[in-house]
Amino acid sequence: MSQNVDNIQPSYPLFRNDEYKESLGNKRANFEEMHPAEKIQEVFEWTTTPEYQELNFQREALTVNPAKACQPLGAVLCALGYEKTLPYVHGSQGCVAYFRTYFNRHFKEPIACVSDSMTEDAAVFGGQKNMFDGLENAKALYKPDMIAVSTTCMAEVIGDDLNAFIGNSRKEGHIPDDYPVPFAHTPSFVGSHTTGWDNMQEGILRYFTLNYMEGKEVGSNGKINIIPGFETYLGNFRVIKRMLAEMDVPYTLLSDPEEVLDTPADGQFRMYAGGTTQDEVKDAPNALDTLLLQPWQSDKAKKFVQNTWNHDVPKLNIPMGLEWTDEFLMKVAEVTGKPIPESLAKERGRLVDMMTDSHAWLHGKRFALWGDPDFVMGMSKFLMELGAEPTHILCHNANKRWKKAMDKMLSESPYGQGATVHQGKDLWHLRSLVFTDKPDFMIGNSYGKFIQRDTLHKGKEYEVPLIRIGFPIFDRHHMHRDTTLGYEGAMYMLRTLVNAVLERLDEETRGMGTTDYNYDLIR
Ligand code: SF4
C-alpha cells in the first residue's frame, strides 16, 4: 500500500492515490449494489424541488439530521461547570462515549465523564447494582468533591429511580452520607441538550439549597447570580465576567466550565479546573437577584430560583447584539445600583461605529440560520440591527411560545418581513428550504457543510456558503474560544459576517479582465 512510515498521509490525499481509487472502485462495483449514477442524480434533483419540499414537510414520525442533541449531553456540560465535579451518567457506556467525543471534537480538550455501563442484565433487572459500584469506584478513582448524576434513554425506559438508588447507595455504605451527589433525570426522548442542562442545573441548586433556606436573605451577600444555560463559547463566560468586573459588580456564575474546557498544555493533566464552588451555590439564595442569559432554555432553574429563593428573575433576552446587551447592562445597573462605566459606553460606541462601517455590505443580505432557541433569537435580532434579513429561521428544540415571540419580533422590523420561523424542524427540512428559496448565506453549526455541499453539487449558482456560528463546530479549530455575547461578541459576529460577504464577493469577482473591475483593495 502507498501508506508508509516515511510518507504518512491523511485520508486526503491518500485515498486519491491510484491503488486506493482502484480498491474503492472495486468495493463499489462488487459489493455496494449501488444504483446507477444517472438514477442517483435524478433523485438528487428531485430532492431539490418544491414538490419534494412539500412531501418533506409532511414528515411526522421521522427526524433526519436533527439540529439538536440529547438531554444528558447538556447535563454533562452543566456539571462540568462546578468545582471538582465528575459528571456521571447512569446508563449505557456508548452514550457517554458519544458525549465525551462530541465535546472533545468541539473543544479539543479531554472531557471527564463516567458511566456505570448498564448492559443487558441491568436493562432487565434495573441498574441499582451498577450505581452502587459506579459511585463507589468513581469516587475512589477520580476523587471528585461531587458527582453529578444524569440518565440515558435506557435507564429512563426501565424507570430507574435516581433518588432511591442514590439513597440506597448511602445506606449500603457505597458513598458517605454527606457526600454530594446531585442528580437529574434526563430522558433523551423528550427535550434536548438544553433541557438536560436546565434539569441538571435545577438538580444541583435543589441539592444544595432546597432544605437549607433557613437564615437565607435575598440581597444579603450583595452579589448577582448569572445562569448561563447551555453555553459553549468560552469567550462568553469571559466577556460576562469582564463586563461585571468593569461595573464592579460581585457575581456568582452558576456553572462555569471556562477553565476546565481550556486547560493549558504545561505538562500537568488537570481533570478538574476552576468551576463554581459548593459554597458559592449554598450562598446563591443570598444574592440580590438571578439573571438568565438564555431564558428560553432555563425554565426549570428559573421556577426553582423564583419559588425557593424568592428571586425576581427579571425578564431579559439573551445579551446578543446592541439592544439586548444594553438591556442586560441596564438591568444589572438597576438591580445592583452600580452605574454602567465609561469603558463599556466606549465599547458600545465602537460597536456602533463598526456597524455603520459595514452596513452597506450587509444591508439586504439574506441569511438562513438554525441553532438553540436563544441563540437563534439573538442572532436574528442582531442581523436585523445590521440591516440584514433573516429568511428561514429553524429551531429544532424550541416550543410554541418561542415561535410566537419570534414571529412578533420579526414582524416589528422591516428586515424581518421576509422571514419564516420553523420550530421543531430538522436540517433535512432546511436543505429543502435553501434549494427552493436561496439565501445568500447559512449560519449554523458544522453540519451545515453537507447542505452547502449539496447546493454546490446542483451548480455554483445554487451554492449557499456556511458561516460557522453555533454548536457543535468540529471541522474548524478554536472557534469555541470566540464570543457571541455583549458588545464584544457582536463585534466578533459582525466581523465574521461581513468578511464572509466580502470573501464571497472576491470569489465572484476575480475573473481576470472580466469581473475584476473595482473595489479590489478598498472594501
Ligand atoms: S439519545 Fe439516548 S441512546 Fe442516544 S446517546 Fe442520547 S441517551 Fe444515549
Cα–Cα distance, 278 to 280 (Å, whole number): 5
Q: What distance in Å separates the CA atoms of residue 374 and residue 176, rounded to the nearest whole number?
A: 40
pLDDT of residue 81: 98
Phi–psi pair at 292, nearest 5 degrees: -100, 130
For residue 311, count other CB atoms closer than 10 A to its CB: 22
What is the set of active-site residues? 153, 157
Phi, psi (rounded to 5 degrees) for 290: -125, 130
Convert 232-252 to b/e letters by CB count within 10 Å (16 or more is b).
Answer: bbbbbbbbbebbbebbebebb
**pLDDT, tens digit, 9 for 90 and up, residues 194-209:** 999 999 999 999 999 9
From residue 241, alpha-carbon distances to 94, 224, 258, 341 in Å are: 36, 12, 11, 15
pLDDT of residue 65: 96
Pocket of ligand 1 (CB under 6 A): 70, 72, 95, 98, 152-153, 188
Angle at 336 between CA 335 and CA 339, to 5 degrees: 110
pLDDT at 413 over 90: yes
- pLDDT recorded at residue 329: 98
| pLDDT value for 203 | 98
Whole-number Å distance between alpha carbons of 236 and 294:
12
Question: In which band, very low, low, confident or very high, does the pLDDT at 522 lie, cut at 50, 70 and 90?
Answer: confident
pLDDT range class, residue 168, cuts 50, 70, 90 = very high
Please give the average per-residue pLDDT across 487-508, as a whole number.
96
- Could you identify the residue written with the cell 491518500? 14
| Alpha helices by DSSP H, 249-317 | 278-283, 299-309
Rounded to an integer, the average pLDDT of 485-507 is: 97
What would the pLDDT profile of 246-294 be if each residue is shown by its tens digit? 999 999 999 999 999 999 999 999 999 999 999 999 999 999 999 999 9
Compute φ and ψ for 287, nearest 5 degrees.
-75, 165
Helices 234-246, 342-362: axis angle to 10 degrees equals 140
Atom 8 of ligand 1, residue of closest alpha carbon:
95
Distance of CA 235 to the CA centre of its chain: 13
Give the model's pLDDT for residue 1.
59
Q: What residue owns the CA closest to ligand 1's atom 5?
A: 95
- Contact (Cβ atoms closer than 8 angstroms) between residue 223 and residue 213: no
Q: Identify the pLDDT of residue 520.
A: 74
Given a cut of 90, is residue 521 above it in pLDDT? no
Q: What pLDDT is recorded for position 320? A: 98
The residue among 135, 156, 153 whose CA lies nearest residue 144 is 135
Q: What is the mean pLDDT of residues 345-364?
A: 97
Question: Which residues, other chains included, contact 220 with Cβ-Cβ below 8 Å and sequence gap of 6+?
Answer: 286
- The answer to whether the beta carbons of residues 391 and 366 sit under 8 Å apart is yes
- Give the pLDDT mean for 48-65: 97
Ligand 1 atom nearest to CA at 189? 1
d(CA 396, CA 378): 16
- DSSP code for 420: E
**Using CA positions, which residue lies closest to atom 2 of ligand 1?**
153
Q: How confident is the model at residue 523 (pLDDT cuts 50, 70, 90)?
A: confident
How many angstroms separate the alpha carbon of residue 111 from the centre of ligand 1? 18
Q: Residue type for 520, please?
A: D
| DSSP labels, 211-243 | T--TT--TTTT--EEEE--S---HHHHHHHHHH
d(CA 271, CA 84): 8
One-letter amino acid for residue 477 of the chain:
H
Q: How far is the CA of 189 from the centre of ligand 1 (A)?
A: 8
Say if residue 518's pLDDT is above 90.
no
